[in-house]
């Protein structure tokens, strides 16, 4: 668990840096994919999925 959280933090920081510098390269895509992969294996995955489902359910009501 601790290794997963530290990898999420590492990939997240690199991704924030790449997004702020407006750099879009294969390395940035790998970083984003790694961040998503490791984030999905943390405890944050269920709340994120629930929030996405709620947003999708709310779209037709707008």
User: What DSSP character marks residue 61?
Assistant: G
pLDDT at 29 (0 to 100): 76
Q: How distant, in Å, are the alpha carbons of 12, 42, 50, 52 from that of 61? A: 33, 31, 18, 15
pLDDT digits (tens, 9 = 90+) for 8-55: 788 778 888 887 887 767 777 777 787 777 777 777 778 877 887 888
**Residue 52 structural domain:** 2-61
Domain count, the chain: 1
Contact 41, 2 (CB under 8 A): no
pTM > 0.95: no
């Amino acid at each position: 668990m601790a290794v997963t959280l530290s990898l999420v933090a590492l990939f997240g920081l690199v991704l924030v840096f790449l997004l702020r510098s407006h750099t879009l390269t294969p390395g940035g895509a790998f970083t984003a994919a790694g961040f998503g992969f490791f984030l999905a294996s943390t405890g944050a995955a269920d709340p994120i999925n629930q929030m996405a489902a709620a947003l999708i359910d709310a779209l037709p009501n707008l």
